[in-house]
Chain A
Amino acid sequence: MLFFLARRVGMMLLTALCLTVLVFYLTNLPAKLETLAKTQAGARISDAEVASWLERNGYGAPMPVRYGEWLGVVPGWVHESPDGTLRGRCIARAADPAEAPTYCGLLQGYWGWSTRFNDAVGSVIATRLGATGMLMLWVMIVMVPSALAVGVLAGMREGSRADRTLSTGAIVSTATPEYVSGVVFIAFFASSTVGLSPLLREWGLLDSPVLFQGNARSAMEGITFWNFTLPVVTIALYGMGYIARMTRASMTEVMTQQYIRTARLKGASFRAIVLKHALRNALIAPFTVIMLQFPWLLNGVVIVEVLFSYPGFGWTLVEAAGNNDIELLLACAVVAVVVVLLTQLISDIGYVYLNPRIRIS
C-alpha cells in the first residue's frame, strides 16, 4: 500500500514537472513576453521600452535559468537601477534588501507574483480555489444524488417506460454542453423581457424583475438560492447525465446476476432486492466515474465561471492565459495536475473498500 502511494506521488510530481516545463516554455516565447510587457507598462510603448522593461523585471535571463528561479534551485534575479535601488525576485519579499533570501521559488514555498492581479500567486490561487470549491460542493450536492437516483430508477427495470424516459433525459443533458445550456438558462430564467420571468410577473408570482440571477458575481459575498442556482444547475446537469448513464448500465448488469435471481426466488421484495442486494454492487462503477468527474468539473467551471462572471479557478485560468500571467498559469497547471491525480488516487483506494476482490499492489 505504501509503495503504491509513493509511486503515485512520484508520478504526480513527474507529471507536474513536465507540464510546468511545457507551460513555462509556451508562456515565455518572445512574443508572449512582449505581450506581457505591453499589458504591464502600457499598450503603446515602443520596442526599446519593451526590451528595457523585460530586462529590468527579470525576464532577460535564458529560459532554463528563469525556470530554475521559479523552482527555487537557481538564485533569484537581482537588478540594480542607476540610482542604486535594488529590485529582484526575492527582494520584494523582504523588508530590507540585504536580508532577502537568495533562493525563492516553489521549493521555498513561494509561488511567485501574479502580474495580472498584482498579488502573490499563492493567495490568488487560494482565494479562487476556495470560490470554485463552493461551486463544486454545491454541484456535487445537486448532481450526485440526483444522478444516482435517475440511474438506479432507470436501471432496475431495464427497458421499461421509466427507463426509456429517464435515459432519454440523461442523454439529452449529457449532449448539451455548458456553453449552450448556460445561455439557454440565462435567456429563459434571468431575463426580464423574455422567458419565464415576465410571465411569472404577469401572474403576480414574482416580485423581483427576474426569477434567477444571470450573473453570479454577488455570490462572492454571500451565496443565495437566487444567485447560485443557474451556475450550479448548468454544471450539474452536464455531469448528471453521464453519471446517470453509468449507474444505469451498472444497475442493469447487476440486476441480471445470479444472486439477484436467488434473492428473488427466496421471496425478498423488489424494494429489498434493489436496496440491499443490488445497490452496493451497482455503485462501484459510478464511484469511479464520480471521482473522474472532479477533473472534468475543472473543465466545466472554466466556461461556467466566465459565463456567470464568478471569479473562481476557471475564471482565473482564463484571465491568466489572456494576460500571459506566467507564474499564475504555472500554479494553475500544478493545481490541475494535483486535482486530477489526487482524485484518481482516491478513486483507486475507494475501489478497494467497495470491492473486496480487488487488491492494490
Chain B
Amino acid sequence: MSNTQSTHLHPAARMYAAECRAGKLGRREFLTRATALGVSVPAAYGLLGLAAPAAKAQTPQRGGSLRMQMDIKAQRDPRTWDWSELANVCRGWLEYLVAYERDGSLSPVLLESWEASDDATEYTLRVRSGVTWNNGDPLTAAHVAHNIERWADASVEGNSMAGRMGAIAEDGKLRDGAIEIVDDLTLRLHLSSPDIAIIVNMSDYPAAVVHPSFTGDDPVANPIGTGPYRPVSHQTGIGAVIERNPDHTWWNEGNGAWLDRIEFLDLGTDPSAWLAAVESGEVEILYQTTGDFIDLFDAVGMVKTEAVTASTLAVRFNQDQPPYDNVNVRRALQLAVDNEVVLELGYNDLGEVAENHHVCPIHPEYAELPPLEFDPDRAREMIAAEGLADHEFELISIDDAWQAATCDSVAAQIRDAGINIRRTILPGATFWNDWLVYPFSSTEWNMRPLGVQVLNLAYRSGVAWNEAAFANEEFDRLLEQANGIPDADERREVMRRLQEIMQEEGVLIQPYWRSLFRHAMPNVGGAEMHPTFEVRYQEYWKS
C-alpha cells in the first residue's frame, strides 16, 4: 500500500523520534504514536533513519482458493458488530479509512493522509482519489462524512462506534458543525475536546465504510463496497464463500487480491473438530489457535504465527455487589493471587505478566509501576478482619478452555490463601446475559492500540461497558485530561496516576497479556496472526 507523505510533519513526531533514538521509546510505540498524528509509515521509519521494511520477503502469487476455519455469525449493521469475525467476512468488499498494522502503525486505506492540529482538536482527512464503489460511484468526502455520522448515532441498539466518536457527538448524535466538508476529497473534523484516539478508532472493526445507500441490516445481502471481492454465499453456522469481483476495478489493483476465492468454514467451537478437518485437508488456515492445541497443530505440519497484544482476561469485581463494594476485600483477593502463576497455569505461559491496571507495556503511554505485592497470609488476615472468614466467594467464567483454566488458577490461589471460594462455569449461551453485573467474573477484552482507549470504554463512570461498576471522580477527571494530551510522555505522567488508582482501588485481577496464535499450512502467505484478529484476506496468497 502506498502512502502520500504529508508535507507538514507534526512537531510531536520529531520529538518522539528523538526519544526513540535515545532509547526512551520502543520502536513499535513510536510507530503507533507518529502514524496516529498523520505521519506516513515510510516517513516515520525515516525519522528514525531507517528504511520501511520491505512489504513481503516472498513474492505473492495470484490465483488459487483458500479454505479457512472461522465462526460465521448472522450478519447485521457493521456499526453494531460485536465480533471480529463479523467484520472479517466483509473485509473483502467493505474497507476502512485506516488500518492498524501488525507492527503497531496505522496505514491509510480509503484515506490518503490525515493531519492533527497540534492540540488534537482538529483533524484534516484527505480521502484517497480514484476510489470507486463496486456499483461505479466514486468515493467522496460526503460519503465519508455520512459514515462518521452513522458511527456517532447512539440511538441504534448496540452501536459501539458511538462511544468512540464522543468528541464529535452531542446528545447521542453527530454535533452540528463537527464535520466540515472542505472539498470533494477533503473533510475536517472539529472536536469538542482533544481526542488523540479518534483516527485509531476508525481502524476498529465496526468502522467499516458503507455506501450511502446502505440502510439495511445485512452487508452481505447488498454488498456495495470499495474492495476487490464480493460474497457468493453466506450461511450462518456453516460457512461463507467470497470470490474476486470481476466487474470492479479496485483502487489498489496489483497490490493484493491475490486469491480467486476464499471459503470460510464454521466448524463449531471445538478445536478437535478443526484438527480433524486439517488432517483431511479440508481447512488450510485457522482463525486462532489456543492452549494445548498450539502444539497439536504444530505437530501436523502447520506453521504458527504469533501476535503480541494487549488482549487480556479481566477477572473483575463488580463494585455494586457486596462484598466487593469494600475496597479491602478487593485488595485482599488481589494480594492472594500471583499473576505469574496464573499466566503459567492458565495460559501455558504464552504471554506477558500484567499488573492489575489494564494498561499494557506496548501502549505508548504505559508508565512503569513498582512490582505487585503477593502476600496470601495478609490476604487471609484482611478478609478475616472484614468478618468474611466464613464467606464463600464465587468466581464465574464462561466455559471457554483458556478462560476457565485462568479462573481456575485464580480461584485455586485464593483457596490456597485460606479463603473460601467456589467456581461456577457458565455456557456461552447464558454467560453474556449478565456479564455486566456478575459480582466476580472474568471477561475477555481485546486490545486497543492506545492505553487510554480501554480505560475510556470500561472504567469511566457510567459508561455502557463498565462491568466493574467503577466510579471514581479523580480517575474520570484525569482520564479526561489524558485524552487531550497528544504527547505520550506528558500523558504518561497522568497515566501513572491512573494506573495507580486502578491498583489502589483494586478494580480487577488482570493476570496477563495474551499472545495470539494462528496456524496455517506452509504454502499460505501473508496471513500472519493480527493483534486485533483482522483477517485481511485481500493480502493472503497461496503458493
Alpha-carbon distance A214/B281, docked complex (angstroms): 10
Chain B stretch 260-288: residues in CB contact (< 8 A) with chain A: 265, 267-268, 272-273, 275-277, 279-282
Residues of A within 8 A of B276 (CB): 186, 190-191, 213-215, 308
Residues of chain B with a CB closer than 8 A to A323's CB: 429
The answer to whether the Cβ of A38 comes within 8 Å of any Cβ in the partner chain is: yes
Complex CA gap A152/B13 in Å reads 86
- Check A41–B157 contact: CB distance below 8 A: yes
B74 touches A309 (CB 8 A): no
B234 to chain A, nearest CB (A): 9
Contacts of A308 in B (CB 8 A): 273, 276
The answer to whether residues A44 and B299 also contact, given A118-B74, A217-B277, A323-B429 and a CB cut-off of 8 A, is no
Which of A45-53, A172-180, A346-354 lies on the face that meets chain B?
A45-53
* A44-B464, A116-B237 known; A35 vs B157 contact (CB < 8 Å): no
Q: Which of A28-71 contact B (CB under 8 A)?
A: 31, 34-35, 38-46, 49, 52-53
Taking the closest CB of chain A, its distance from the CB of B245, in whole angstroms, is: 23
- For the complex, is B75 an interface residue (Cβ under 8 Å from A)? yes
B386 at the interface (CB under 8 A from A): no
Say whether A306 contacts B74, CB under 8 Å. Answer: no
B430 proximal to A (CB < 8 A)? yes
Q: Using CB atoms, name the residue of chain A closest to B220.
A: A118
With contact pairs A41-B157, A42-B157 given, residues A215 and B273 touching in the complex (Cβ less than 8 Å): yes
Residue of B nearest to A47 (CB): B436
Contact A309 B80 (CB under 8 A): no
A247 at interface, CB cutoff 8 A: no
Contact in complex: B429, A35 (CB < 8 Å): yes
| Contacts known (A215-B276, A309-B273); A322 close to B158, Cβ less than 8 A | no
CB of A74 within 8 Å of the partner chain: no
| B134 located at the interface, meaning its Cβ lies under 8 Å from any Cβ of chain A in the complex | no
Inter-chain contact B268/A309, CB cutoff 8 Å: yes
Decide yes or no whether B236 CB sits under 8 A from chain A.
yes
Min Cβ gap A331→B in Å is: 16
Q: Are A46 and B464 in contact (CB under 8 A)?
A: yes
Contact of A322 among B83, B281, B300, B429 (CB under 8 A): B429
Q: Name the residue of chain B whose CB is nearest to the CB of A214.
A: B276
A43 near B432 with CB under 8 A, answer yes
In the complex, B103 has a CB within 8 A of chain A: no
Residues of A within 8 A of B272 (CB): 186
Least Cβ–Cβ distance between B296 and chain A, in angstroms? 9
B268 touches A209 (CB 8 A): no
Known interface pairs A35-B429, A116-B74, A193-B300. Does A311 touch B280 (Cβ–Cβ under 8 Å)? no
Smallest CB separation, B196 vs chain A (Å): 24
| Contact of A311 with B74 at beta-carbon distance under 8 Å, contacts A43-B432, A209-B279 already known | no
Q: Does A234 contact B (CB under 8 A)?
A: no
The interface bits of chain B over 281-305 (1 if a CB of A lies within 8 angstroms of the residue's CB, else 0) are: 1100000000000000001100000
* CB pair A210 B280 closer than 8 Å: yes
Q: Report yes or no: B267 in contact with A309, Cβ–Cβ below 8 A.
A: yes
C-alpha spacing A319/B268, complex, angstroms: 10
The dominant DSSP class at the B interface is loop
Q: How far is the CA of A218 from the CA of B75 in the complex (A)?
A: 24
Q: Which residue on B lies nearest to A42, using beta carbons?
A: B158
A345 near B: Cβ within 8 Å? no
CB closest residue in chain B, given A38: B432
B-side contacts of A322, CB under 8 Å: 427-429
Q: CB of B493 within 8 A of chain A?
A: no
A323 CA to B39 CA, complexed, in Å:
45
> Once the chains bind, are B432 and A218 in contact (CB under 8 Å)?
no
Closest CB in chain A relative to B70 CB, distance in Å: 13
Residue A192 at the chain B interface, CB threshold 8 Å: yes
Q: Does A132 contact B (CB under 8 A)?
A: no
Q: Which of A38, A116, A118, A227 contacts B280 (CB 8 A)?
A: A227
- A215 neighbours in B (Cβ, 8 Å): 267, 273, 276-277, 280, 282
Could you tell me if A44 and B279 are in contact, using CB atoms closer than 8 angstroms?
no
Least CB distance from A277 to B in Å reads 48
A307 at interface by CB-CB < 8 Å: yes
Using A191-B279, A215-B277, A217-B282 as known contacts, say yes or no to A311 and B237 having CB atoms under 8 A apart.
Answer: yes
Tell me if A324 counts as interface (CB < 8 A to partner B): yes
Within 8 Å of chain B (Cβ to Cβ): is A117? yes
Of the candidates B82, B238, B268, B280, the one whose C-beta lies within 8 Å of that of A42 is: B82
Residue from B80, B82, B280 in contact with A214 in the complex, judged by beta carbons closer than 8 Å: B280
Q: Which chain B residues lie closer than 8 Å to A190 at the CB level?
A: 276, 279-280
Bitwise, B424-441 to A at CB < 8 A (1) or not (0) is 000111101101100000
A293 at the interface (CB under 8 A from B): no
Given contacts A35-B430, A42-B160, A215-B282, whether A115 and B74 have CB atoms under 8 Å apart is: yes
- Does B61 sit within 8 A of A, measured CB to CB? no
Selected contact of B433 from candidates A35, A117, A210, A214, CB within 8 Å = A35
Q: With A and B bound together, what is the CA distance between A358 and B158 in angstroms?
A: 64
Q: In the complex where A34-B433, A116-B237, A319-B237 touch, is A45 in contact with B279 (Cβ < 8 A)?
A: no
Report the separation of the CA atoms of residues A52 and B155 in the bound assembly, to the nearest whole angstrom. Answer: 11
The distance from the CB of A45 to the nearest CB of chain B, in whole angstroms, is 5
Question: A265–B90 Cα gap in the complex (Å)?
Answer: 79
Q: Check B74–A44 contact: CB distance below 8 A.
A: no
**CB atoms of A218 and B433 under 8 A apart:** no
What would be 10 A-B contacts, judged by CB atoms less than 8 Å apart? A42-B82, A43-B432, A43-B435, A44-B464, A44-B465, A115-B74, A119-B236, A186-B272, A210-B280, A319-B237
Question: What 7 A-B pairs have minimum CB-CB distances, sorted nearest first?
Answer: A42-B158, A214-B276, A213-B280, A215-B277, A49-B157, A215-B276, A42-B82
New A-B contacts (15) at CB < 8 Å, excluding given A43-B82, A324-B429: A35-B429, A35-B432, A43-B83, A44-B82, A44-B436, A45-B157, A49-B157, A190-B276, A193-B299, A213-B282, A214-B279, A217-B265, A307-B273, A308-B273, A322-B427
Chain A residues engaging chain B, CB cutoff 8 angstroms = 31, 34-35, 38-46, 49, 52-53, 115-119, 186, 190-193, 208-210, 213-215, 217-218, 220, 226-227, 306-309, 311, 319, 322-324
